Structure 1
Amino acid sequence: MRLLLILDHATEDRLLADIVEHGHTVVARLLSSREAEARLPDLEVDVVLAGAGRSTLSADLLRATDSRGIRVVALASTDLDRHHARSLGIHEVLEADVAWGEIDAFVRGSAVLGARVDETAEAAHPRGARVIAVWGPAGAPGRTTLSINVAAELAARGRDVVLIDADTYGGAIAPALGLLDEAPGFASACRLAGSGSLDRAEFDRIAPVYSAAGGPFRVLTGIPTSRRWPELAPDRIDAAIEVLRTVATDIVIDVGFNLEADDELSSDLFSPRRNAATAASLRLADDVLAVGLADPIGLARFLRAHVDLLDVVSTSRVHVVINRVRGSALGIDAAGQVRQSLRRFAGIETATLLPHDQRASDAAILLARTLREAAPRSGLRAGIRGLVDTVLLPIAADDLAVRPRRALRRSLAAG
């Protein structure tokens, strides 16, 4: 293997003889990530072995290696180094004082990448997973709550589910489920897919299992801070979803609210790319759950934004869900008023209405669990379960009959 070293002198001196003895070639020995970025175009490199500190590992270096299909292995000396590496989406992090034998096995194994779509995956998912995007306008209509619980209900019915947080304005799935989000899983998947490195082994490593009796599912957590939205580039999202379709039956994506296009944001050169992640996810979706809030302000926001949504996706793929239906905000016959407003102002004849159930929602948040676990008999859980059974599962009934449990389910059970 051709290695580029970006290590401190002590670590480099300790490892150099073993690197050569094990048959590797050191193409350069550098001191900073900035120097490495400048030298990469002139070097032929298979693997970069770098310290995990801020001076030797940076987002710019990862972009440069990704574009060339070069794997990065980081060596961490402190907890701060480990946190920095994982915050960049690097999962190949080893202790700086480990013996070369451990590093060597890792370098050799990661340099020869597995196939993106293996025969087992193709056999398990011959038609590819269905992508379900959950979208809603600004104002917290319940996108994340619906995404989590749709994924949970699908998983409870024997589906192989991957839940993705693709909200570029700040992910909320990880804290809602009590998962660590210092290493954003979906950003990592996008980065690996962009360099052609996302295979089953990588997926298993970056997607933690949310364990629930009778219905575990995988989660790709979102970006922990909104300023990291450039990591969710549309082309990388395309590549990541293409791979994930081979390891699941259903992919549920929690997307951002903003649908504004480039020409509407010509005064801001960065926002178009930020919103493009939502547009890319919606474009890839087989079904879109459009969520609105059942009060005068929430319905007005939904009806205005629904027009913009139909410019992005076709009407046939959109299923309208109105959340928190309650008489205290709409008066007598709240459900009837919602349906009448949807029919009159948007021509929407069919919608799923979910009741306002603050106690169930609070229980799920307090316990960091799904409604199926925290409030199994709640009206809100029953409404989401009905949505899954009557709207989503009938579409995939034939598919479910052919393959009730697949590769991802087996891997979860084994894990």
Structure 2
Amino acid sequence: MVRIALLLGREVERRLLPDAVEHGHRVVRAGTWPELRDGLAEHRPELLLVAAGVLAVDHDVLAVCDAAGVRVVALADDDRQRAAARAAGLHEVVGPVVAWAELEPVVTGRVALAPEATPSPEARTVAVWGPTGAPGRTTVAVNVAAELAAAGRRVALVDADPYGGAVALALGLLDETPGFAAACRLAGMNALDRAELERLAQRCATSGAEFEVFTGLIGPGRWPELGADRVAAALAAIAAEVDVVVIDTGFSLERDEELTSDQFAPRRNAATFAALEAADRVIAVGLADPTGLGRLLRGCAELAEHVDPEQIDVLVNRVRPSVLGIGAYAQVRATLQRLGGIERAWLLPHDGRGPDAAVLRARALRDAAPRSALALAFREYTAERFPRADAFDAGAPRPSRRGPGIRGTRLLDRVRRGAPHYA
């Protein structure tokens, strides 16, 4: 059951309300934005359904919904309404909707969203990079790994941040013995085999599936353990045992040779460069505020010197009107296109309660807050950019559902075909 507030036109409400109640949801009708604002504290809805073409958006009420963790979904009948909803800062727009059965998977968050674009070629190694300023690299890495595992992939999440890893803390795992550093040491001795990988990896469960985690350094003082050759060898060994490797990297793209005259000394950023070189897709993460966007644009320009720009996916985190004003999503897209030539980016909404629940429970969003706006945004991104387990080309090798790997996983949360599409 989901507690739902309706802010719809009379005809749409008459069509959808009986089926919503029949599906077991608790529904509150709000005729106007002020009525909705006054009833938020009493009814505490989890979801607000609003008609994009009927009522003018009250941005103050949207800010209250965001602070209260109320997910907002707009119903649009045509492209004009869809564009108006997006311009108003509404991230989730669905439609046209004829019957409640089309909305039920969206309301409950059970399915991923069908993408507009054709899925890109399969990525086996994914590096998550972002500039300084805590843009959300670890959050993205953890949730992308969890979504891929829940979709039936054998996934390994690697914390290769030489400045101190946070993946273990985010998932509530033991970090006394850095798993990835140990793997690098064994790789340097040509002793990293499947048995050692099983010993070093920690298992993390998500929605009935599992993925493996190689924890990072517990302090920045141990960065010399992550030498470039060792990191490359360890990543290759891990990639041979799973379908997808997701790497949480460091932020710095400085060439250490410029900082020392000793050409044989270990390099602080060698692990980051080795991860970027091994990756066939790089997720560049930045914050949606003037400072964060500036850092992201400068960082992407540097990143393009080391990675093919076609392999870079740009994710902008915490998009919110309170920092950028009305039309926050449109402003971010326009800024990226005008100043960075970035034509396509994935924008992650500022979510009030979802990330807090994930931190409190030390779990991925799909487990801590599966119906939150941010969890659905990650589900949408992974469904679009990573081929689904049942959508491989006929001639391509098909990953085993329960076959050998570091450890097997079960396919319990497959992306279904025919899901409603968000704009």
Q: Please confirm whether the aligned pair reaches a TM-score higher than 0.5, indicating the same fold.
A: yes
Paired position in structure 2 for 1:332 = 326
Matched to 1:403, the amino acid is P
Map 1:273-352 → 2, pairs under 5 A: 273-352=267-346
- Per-residue CA deviations over 1:180-236 (Å, capped at 9, x if unaligned) read 000000001101111111111111111010022322100000000010001111100
Q: How many residues align?
A: 286
Q: Displacement, 1:264?
A: 3.8
Structure 1's consecutive aligned runs of 4 or more residues displaced over 6 angstroms after TM superposition are 267-272
**C-alpha deviation, 1:306, in angstroms:** 1.0
Aligned to 2:134: 140
Asked whether the 8 Å contact 1:261–1:272 carries over to 2, the reply is no
Task: Find 1:408's aligned residue among 405, 409, 423.
Answer: 405
Q: Does 1:261 align with 2:258?
A: no
Deviation at 1:393, TM superposition (A): 2.6
- 2:363 corresponds to: 369
Report the Cα distance in structure 2 between the residues aligned to 1:236 and 1:387, rounded to whole angstroms: 31
Larger relative CO (CA 8 A, sep 6+): 1 or 2?
Answer: 2
Note the C-alpha offset of 1:246: 1.4
Alpha-carbon distance in 1 for matches of 2:193, 2:374: 37
Is 1:213 the equivalent of 2:207? yes
Q: Which runs of 5+ in 2 are unaligned?
A: 1-121, 411-423
Taking a change above 3 Å as real, the CA distance of residues 290 and 140 of structure 1, as seen in their structure-2 partners, is same
Match of 2:217 in 1: 223
Amino acid at match of 1:316: E
Structure 2 partner of 1:181:
175
Q: Is it true that 1:154 corresponds to 2:151 in the alignment?
A: no
TM-score (norm 2): 0.64
Query: Secondary structure of the residue that 2:231 maps to in structure 1?
Result: helix
- After superposition, the Cα gap between the structure-2 partners of 1:375 and 1:268, relative to the gap in structure 1 and judged at 3 Å, is farther
CA distance in 2, matches of 1:271, 1:302: 30
Are the structure 2 counterparts of residues 345 and 364 from structure 1 closer, same or farther at C-alpha, using a change threshold of 3 Å? Answer: same
Q: What displacement does 1:323 show?
A: 0.5
Aligned to 2:73: none
Task: Return the offset for 1:281.
Answer: 0.3
Query: Residue type matched to 1:243 in 2?
Result: A
- Alpha-carbon contact 1:129-1:248 (below 8 Å) kept: no
Q: What is the DSSP-based 3-state SS (H/G/I as helix, E as strand, rest coil) of the residue aligned with 2:297?
A: helix
- SS in structure 1 opposite 2:165? coil
The 8 Å contact of residues 134 and 290 in structure 1, kept in 2 or not, is answered as: yes
The one-letter code of the counterpart of 1:161 is: V
In structure 2, what is the Cα distance between the partners aligned to 1:245 and 1:397? 21
Conserved 8 A contact 1:158-1:404: no
Distance 1:410 1:192 in 2: 19
Compute the displacement of 1:391 (Å): 1.3
Task: Give, as a single letter, the amino acid of the residue that structure 1 aligns with 2:398.
Answer: V
Q: 1:345 to 1:279 in 2, by over 3 A?
A: same
SS at structure 1 position matched to 2:206: coil
CA–CA distance in structure 1, aligned partners of residues 345 and 261 of structure 2: 37
**CA-CA distance at 1:397 after TM superposition:** 4.1
* Counterparts of 2:392 and 2:406, CA distance in 1: 18
Alignment RMSD, CA only? 2.2
Counterpart pick for 1:243 among 228, 237, 240:
237
Change over 3 Å in CA distance of 1:268–1:224 after alignment to 2: farther
* 1:263 Cα deviation after fit: 4.5
1:350-393 per-position Cα deviation (integer Å, ceiling 9, x unaligned):
00000001311111001001100000000001101111000123
Quote the residue 1:192 is aligned against.
186
The percent of aligned pairs where both chains have the same amino acid is 54
Letter in 1 for 2:183: A
| Residue of structure 2 equivalent to 1:163 | 157
For residue 296 of structure 2, give the secondary structure of its aligned residue in structure 1.
Answer: helix
1:31-180 → structure 2 map (5 Å cutoff): 130-180=124-174
SS in 2 for 1:274: coil
State the Cα distance separating 1:242 from its structure 2 match. Answer: 1.5
The structure whose residues are more often helix, as a share, is 1
- Confirm or deny: 8 A CA contact 2:123 2:281 kept in the other structure: no
Contact 1:364 1:371 in 2 (8 A): yes
Distance, in Å, in 2 between the alignment partners of 1:338 and 1:214 is 36
The normalised TM-score by structure 1 is 0.66
Per the TM alignment, residue 266 of structure 1 is displaced from its structure 2 partner at its CA by 4.0
Q: Which residue of 2 aligns with 1:387?
A: 381
**Which AA in structure 1 matches 2:332?**
V
Larger radius of gyration: 1
